[in-house]
Structure 1
Amino acid sequence: MKKLTLLLLFLCAGFTAMAQIEIGLQVSPTIAGNRFVAEDKYNLQKESSSLHLGVGVVADYFFAQNYAFSTGLMYRGKGSEIKYSYNRQDGNPPVSGKDDISLQYIEIPVSLKLFTNEVAPGTVAYIQVGGSLNTKVAATVNDKKVIDGQKVGKRFNVFEADALLGAGAEFQLGESTKLFAGLTYHRGLNNIDDYYRKVLDDKNVSVKNNSVSLDFGVKF
């Protein structure tokens, strides 16, 4: 048992010694919208996309020369303007509306980054594949936090998960400083808003986040 423990400690120490951690700051202007899972009769659609901002800390943990486990902590805005219109068949008045939704999340990305060898002096390209676990911290609808005496934030789900796919390049500035720039697609995986299920009386209706971000940052 002691020999096995020593062997495991030796392997962990060796892995840690070979690994390299790079920590940096990131700014991400984000174009956000929504997509829907709903029957056509509800006419639920995105009215327009919205520009938001993401800021935070990123960390790349290199477990091999060209492979890194990437994570961090990001504060990001999402949401867009959407509308719906439904002519009921039961004789009740039609249901319609337009909402400008703005959400803020704390995100923990969990992804794998695959780097090329140098494509130019001091420059490497990368692709990024993974997901993100997100927690809602604030919400408004039509720039209001309270509507009809109820807090708007309560209608939105607290947690969100999304898949992400990105690509970009890193530029070596010095011995330990790098600039990076990339483009990342974020695809929401779960329903974020139960309001439309209630107002349309259909539990199968889902509203999900969709966004594309330009990522700029520096790593040390």
Structure 2
Amino acid sequence: MKFYWVIAFLIFTIFTVNAQDKKKDYKKLKLGLIASPQVSWLTSDFSKVENEGSVLGMSYGLMADFFFDRNYAISVSVIRSHTGGKLKYSTGTEPQMNIDHSYVTIQDGEVLRYKLTYIEIPIGLKLKTKLFRRLGYYGQLGLTPMINTNAKTGDDLALIDEIQIGDLGFHFGGGIEYSLGGDTYLHAAVFYTNGLIDITTNDDISDKTNLNSVNLRLGINF
């Protein structure tokens, strides 16, 4: 529910600022809706904890571009992201994990799927080209703070205190936008996010597990 309150507040702020800024020859603030099919995976720096494949997910939310020039903006989004990955725990690890309020030993060679939900707040610098026949291009890079709101296994059993509440990633990407007329644009882009923080909390394994993703961002700005 907090996710929807954040979106409501951001919408109110955007429309308020836009109403106060009618003298610019370009729109200083643009609102957008986005939906992103994505592929995500987990990586560990410990040789006995291996990435065992990627998972498909989806993210969606609201974005706002704060323009300080016609083709330069600070882009801020509020996104709910369904993500995760698979890890294989090899010989000698066998950690105990709190799964559905019971401590379970992960057996040698067992693959554990992580189904994770985050609230992401990507903040980045967006650079745009001028439109040519209604078509333009843009690139963006920045940081993505993330708050974990749910963590489960592949069998939908709760992972209790096994995932850090916060994460931070570095993102970059780019894409195209198409003008529908006026200030309304369709856009599509590919973004890569590289996790910078260990997202796991298990004391039985001293490793750093990062969450990474590639997503196809589709949306509309107005």
Asked if TM exceeds 0.5, the reply is yes
Q: 1:180 — aligned with what? A: 187
Which one of the candidate residues 145, 154, 173 is aligned to 1:133? 145
Deviations 1:140-162 (A, max 9, x none): 0132334xxxxx14110000110
Distance in 1 of aligned mates of 2:154 and 2:135:
44
Looking at structure 1, the residues matched to 154 and 204 of structure 2 have their Cα atoms a distance apart, in angstroms, of 17
Which AA in structure 1 matches 2:135? T
User: Within 1, Cα distance between the matches of 2:160 and 2:199?
Assistant: 11
1:103 is the counterpart of 2:108: no
Quote the residue 1:216 is aligned against. 218
Aligned residue in 2 for 1:123: 135
In the alignment, the residues of structure 1 paired with residue 108 and residue 88 of structure 2 have an alpha-carbon distance, to the nearest angstrom, of: 11
Name the structure 1 match of 2:11: none
For the residues of structure 2 that align with 1:154 and 1:24, how far apart are their CA atoms? Answer: 34
| CA distance in 2: counterparts of 1:181 and 1:163, whole angstroms | 20
Q: Percent identity?
A: 28
Gap regions ≥5 residues in structure 2 = 1-20, 94-106
Distance in 2 between residues matched to 1:161 and 1:128, nearest whole Å: 17
Q: TM-score, normalised by structure 2?
A: 0.79
Are 1:113 and 2:120 counterparts?
A: no
Which one of 147, 168, 174 corresponds to residue 161 of structure 1? 168
- The gaps in structure 1 that reach 5 residues or longer are 1-15, 89-93, 147-151
In structure 2, how many angstroms separate the alpha carbons of the residues matched to 1:78 and 1:187? 13
Q: Does residue 34 of the first structure (1) align with residue 32 of the second (2)?
A: no
- The code of the aligned residue for 1:210 comes to N
Task: Tell me by how many angstroms 1:86 deviates.
Answer: 2.4
Over residues 147-181 of structure 1, what are the superposed CA-to-partner deviations in whole Å (9 max), with x where a residue is unaligned? xxxxx141100001100001001110011211000
Choose from 63, 69, 73 the match for 2:74: 69
Distance in 2, Cα, partners of 1:218 & 1:87: 50
TM-fit CA distance, 1:76: 0.5
One-letter amino acid of the structure 1 residue matched with residue 124 of structure 2? S
C-alpha contact 1:138 1:153 (8 A) present in aligned 2: no
Q: Is the 8 A contact 2:161 2:201 kept in 1?
A: no
Deviation at residue 125 of structure 1 after TM alignment: 0.3
Residue 68 of structure 1 contacts residue 112 of structure 1 at CA under 8 Å; is this kept in 2?
A: yes
Report the alpha carbon displacement of residue 95 of structure 1 after superposing the two structures with TM: 4.4
Rg larger for: 1
Question: Deviation at 1:106?
Answer: 0.5
What is the root-mean-square deviation of aligned Cα atoms in Å? 1.7
Deviates more, 1:77-86 or 1:184-193: 77-86
Aligned residue in 1 for 2:97: none
Asked if 1:206 corresponds to 2:208, the answer is yes
State the number of aligned residues. Answer: 186
More helix by share: 1
TM-aligned CA distance change 1:87 to 1:139, over 3 Å: closer
Cα deviation for residue 116 of structure 1 reads 1.3
Distance 1:68 1:87 in 2: 50
Query: TM (normalized to structure 1)?
Result: 0.80
